[in-house]
Structures are given as structure tokens and as C-alpha cells.
A and B are shown apart, each in its own frame.
Chain A
Amino acid sequence: MNTINRDQLLERARREVPEISPQEVKAQLDSNLPVTLVDVREREEFIQGHVPGAIFIPRGYLELQIEQYQPDRNAPVVVYCAGGVRSLLAARNLKEMGYTNVRSMIGGFNGWKNAGLKFTVPRVLTEDQRLRYSRHTLLKEVGEAGQIKLLEAKVLLIGAGGLGSPAAMYLAAAGVGTLGIVDFDVVDVSNLQRQLLHGNKDVGRPKVESAADRIRDINPDVKVTPHNTPLTSDNALEIIRQYDIVLNGSDNFPTRYLVNDACHMLGKPLVDGSIFMFEGQATVYLPDSPEHGIVGGPCYRCLYPEPPAPGEVPSCAEAGVLGVLPGIVGSIQAIEAIKLILGIGEPLVGKLLLIDTLDMSFRTLKVQRDPNCPLCGEHPTVTELIDYDQFCGFPAREHAATGELVVA
């Protein structure tokens, strides 16, 4: 067998692999040419800084992972390393896999920096986080970048009750970095049949406190912001403004209309869920966001233009609720929130999921935007928050009780 030395190998690679200068790469990226730029250095090098837009695949994994990012063998691919040597060998391996348009960047990342071109220092997971979230980062749809999105996300939970409990615990475990909780109730022993955030030792404590303790125990990465107050027309905008996504676990109609209106006015996605006896509903109300190219869907008022008269619909306190049911619906809400954060899949926008646990049916119905909706229709009449107790037919109450939040 013929042996060749290092220099001969590189000589051969140079003959086989065309090279490209950092300036040319920059020009191609700037003109949005569909070039796949792959950083094949080691992780320790990558996290010190990389070319903006580069995909990170360490050379040892290159052949195993490249197809996840660029399966098209004729697509233009540029590979770089630190100095332009390892990338020559890496590019040669890609050619062997049938990639016909692979080039190696001359001088590598050092060449890029020396040319005075801008680079990015990525936010990366710590060693502890890489272990904690490894089952997430293994998923191509999440990856390290997705996990960082979760860590940077801020989700507000309306209520730390039946729906808020599983949602809060799963979002915390998933590493959603900031969880706000609005609730001013205290833990009652009758809550424990379904509200897993709280335990026996918490009876009599404010729910936001026991919720915060539980969440910190699940995941110290999560910052919990308790809002131990009723949500009212006076504070809703100020509280909701601080978050990216709102998850509704409230148990009364005035709060549901209040949260819907406030989220629409602030352009925040609202992940809605509700439960009754053995049945649940879940959907996502996504407002338009033209600056992000997002065409939203219907809102709560499109679906339910008017609330039932007081007493017309029995409540869970009167009729009961199966304790596991909020576990299902709240978990679905948590999944929808995570999908919105990661931008994956198809959220339940314009779709109403109905769950009947007695025959265990899951059905999805289409819901449409109402052009006459007073909030999100063509000629809106609700342009600021109103008195939601009055809207729902309840007698006007003292200031502190407006939009009172009592949790399922």
C-alpha cells in the first residue's frame, strides 16, 4: 500500500477541492445566495466566535450530520475551520459523499477575522445544561439553538391552578427561562385533587409562593416572577407586556375576555385551555404581526362573541371536574407554547381541539375569524380594556374584585 505524508495529503486535497476567499463568502451571504456554510471546528473553538449564519458540525460528525442540514448534493456548500487546513480534508469527505459544489474557505475563521469581517459569539449551553436538556437537543427541531430560545422565552401563566399546574411544571422542566404566574388565591385542600403544583404542606399559603418553590425545585434555571394580585383592567396590560406568550388557565369568563383583549392589544399569542367535568378545549389565539410576517387567526371573541348569562353554564365547583383532565389540557397548552417559542409544527391557530375523556375522543374543529369581531374584526369597537364584570352580566363590584381571578 502506498503511503503518503501529511503534506502530500494536503497537496492532493488542494488539487481536488476548490477554495473561496472570506470576502467572496461574505458577498454570497449578503446577496442571500443559498450557500450552506459549515463550521467544522471543535465546540470550544466555535463558541469563541463564528461566521454569522454558519452551521456548526464538528469535523468528526460531518458526514453523519450534513444531510440533516443539506441533503441536496448539488447545493453550494462552503466549509471552514480555523486556518483552512482541516476544512480542505472535510470538504474532500463531502465530495466523497457526492456533494458536487463544495469549497473550502481560505484561511478559515482566522482569515475571516483578519479580513475585518463581523463574527458572532454564540450563546451556548453550560455543561450542566447540556446534560439537563440533552433529550431536547437531540431533537433536530429543538437542538442547542432551540433550547436557548426556550431559556430566553418568557411565558405568563394566568392562574396556578388545574391548568396552570401541569403547564408550569412542564414549561419549567423544559427550561423556559422566565415563568410569570398571576394568582392571588391561597391553596385549599380541595385544590389538591388536581393542582399538582401544591401539596399538603402548602394549604393556606399563597399559590404563587408554593408554585415558585415547586418550579425552583424542578429547574433552578427558571426565573419565577410571582404576581400575587387579581388580574384587572388596570394591571393586565402592564403585566402581560413583560412576556412573550400567555397561557390561560383562568376559570371565569370576565378574566377570559380580559386576557383575550389585553393579549390582542399587545400582540401576544394566547394559548387557551378550559375544562368542565370530563371535557376539555384548547386553542391558540394568535394576533396578526405584520412586522414579523405573521397572519394571525381568530380571537376568543370571534369564537364566543358574548359570555353566557351568570348561572347559565354550571361551574366546576358545582358540577365537578375529573382531576386528571386539567393535566391533559394544561400539558397540551404547554406543548403549544413550546411550539410557538421554537417556531415548529402547526400550532392550534384557527383550530379548536375538543377532548372528551369519557370516550377518549380528540376532535379538531375549524374556527374562523369573524370580520365583525368587535376586537379583531374590520371595524373594531373594543379598543381599550373595559369593565369585564359588567360585560359578563355581573353586578359591578369593588375595585379590587374587578376581573377577579379564581382558579380552577
Chain B
Amino acid sequence: MATVYVPTPLRRLTGGQAKVEVTGEDIGTVIQAIDAQYPGVADRLLDDDGNIKRFINVFVNDAEIRGLQGMHTPVKANDKVSIVPAMAGGREATE
């Protein structure tokens, strides 16, 4: 099982949990596995082509997956997967 760190904006979908344990052989299957447990997560992470949205970074341990093998980056048991979206704090810029 790998540990996936869930960023605050997605915790509404994980019942408030900051960490979830899932099994998957790469990032693609790990995301499928989370989505199976917590429907809607994949939608928030992936664009129409099934790639990670450009304002989100996914790390396996301390390395970002775009510099590895993207969605095919292998995930081993005990790996830590971090989902890190851009945050701007404050208010909507449209206000």
C-alpha cells in the first residue's frame, strides 16, 4: 500500500482524510484506486486527456512525476504520493 497525501481542497471528497492508503502499480492506477474509494477525485485531478491538470503537481516521494514517467511512474508499497495543487489563498480575483 502506498500513502497518498490529499490536499485540503480534495478532502471534502475523502471524508476529511488527509492521507489515504491505496494499492496501484503506477500513478494512473493509484488515482483509479482512490477514485474507486472516493468517487470524484479523478475528475478533480485529470484533464480531458487523462493527464494531471497543469496546476497540480504529483510527487512520488520527493520527486515530481513529470520529471519521471508521468502517469506511468511506478509506485511501490510504502511510497508516499503527494498531490500538490497551486494555491493562491485570499479571495477570487474576480471579486
- CB of A407 within 8 A of CB of B90, answer yes
Which of B21-29, B30-38, B52-60 lies at the interface?
Answer: B52-60
When distances are taken between beta carbons in the complex, the residues of chain B under 8 Å from A326 are 89
Kindly report which residue of chain B lies nearest to residue A388, judged by CB atoms. Answer: B93
When distances are taken between beta carbons in the complex, the residues of chain A under 8 Å from B53 are 306, 308
A253 to B92, CA, bound (A): 9
When distances are taken between beta carbons in the complex, the residues of chain B under 8 Å from A162 are 89-90
Kindly report which residue of chain A lies nearest to residue B54, judged by CB atoms. Answer: A306
- CB of A315 within 8 A of CB of B88, answer yes
When distances are taken between beta carbons in the complex, the residues of chain A under 8 Å from B55 are 304-308, 312-313
- CB of A406 within 8 A of CB of B95, answer yes
Q: Mark A147-165, 1 if CB is under 8 A from B, else 0.
A: 0000000000000011100
- CB of A315 within 8 A of CB of B89, answer yes
A368 touching B8 in the complex, CB below 8 Å, given contacts A307-B55, A394-B93, A406-B91? no
When distances are taken between beta carbons in the complex, the residues of chain B under 8 Å from A367 are 57, 64
A275's contact among B82, B85, B87, by CB below 8 Å, is which? B87
Chain A 339-389 residues near chain B, CB threshold 8 A:
352, 354, 356, 358-359, 363-368, 370, 389
Check: A170 CB closer than 8 A to any chain B CB.
no
When distances are taken between beta carbons in the complex, the residues of chain B under 8 Å from A311 are 92
A274 touching B94 in the complex, CB below 8 Å, given contacts A304-B54, A313-B55? no
- CB of A366 within 8 A of CB of B54, answer no
Check: B77 CB closer than 8 A to any chain A CB.
no
CB distance from A281 to the nearest CB of B (A): 6
CB distance from B55 to the nearest CB of A (A): 4
Kindly report which residue of chain B lies nearest to residue A359, judged by CB atoms. Answer: B18
Check: A237 CB closer than 8 A to any chain B CB.
no
A274 touching B88 in the complex, CB below 8 Å, given contacts A368-B67, A392-B93? yes
A306 to B53, CA, bound (A): 8
Kindly name the residue among A306, A308, A404 whose own CB sees the greatest number of chain B CB atoms within 10 A. A308
A279 touching B89 in the complex, CB below 8 Å, given contacts A308-B53, A365-B82? no
When distances are taken between beta carbons in the complex, the residues of chain B under 8 Å from A243 are none
A255 touching B86 in the complex, CB below 8 Å, given contacts A307-B55, A313-B55, A366-B63? no
Q: Mark A299-329, 1 if CB is under 8 A from B, else 0.
A: 0000111111011111111110100001000
A367 to B84, CA, bound (A): 11
A116 to B91, CA, bound (A): 64
Check: A408 CB closer than 8 A to any chain B CB.
yes
When distances are taken between beta carbons in the complex, the residues of chain A under 8 Å from B67 are 368
Q: Mark B56-88, 1 if CB is under 8 A from A, else 0.
A: 010100111011000000000000001011111
- CB of A354 within 8 A of CB of B87, answer no
A277 touching B91 in the complex, CB below 8 Å, given contacts A253-B86, A365-B82, A365-B84? no
When distances are taken between beta carbons in the complex, the residues of chain A under 8 Å from B18 are 356, 358-359
Kindly name the residue among B54, B62, B63, B88 whose own CB sees the greatest number of chain A CB atoms within 10 A. B88
CB distance from B57 to the nearest CB of A (A): 6
- CB of B57 within 8 A of CB of A274, answer no
Closest 7 CB pairs of A and B: A251-B90, A252-B93, A306-B54, A408-B90, A408-B89, A317-B91, A304-B86
Name B residues whose Cβ lies closer than 8 Å to a Cβ of A.
5, 7-9, 18, 53-55, 57, 59, 62-64, 66-67, 82, 84-95
Name A residues whose Cβ lies closer than 8 Å to a Cβ of B.
161-163, 250-256, 274-279, 281, 303-308, 310-319, 321, 326, 352, 354, 356, 358-359, 363-368, 370, 389, 392, 394, 404, 406-408
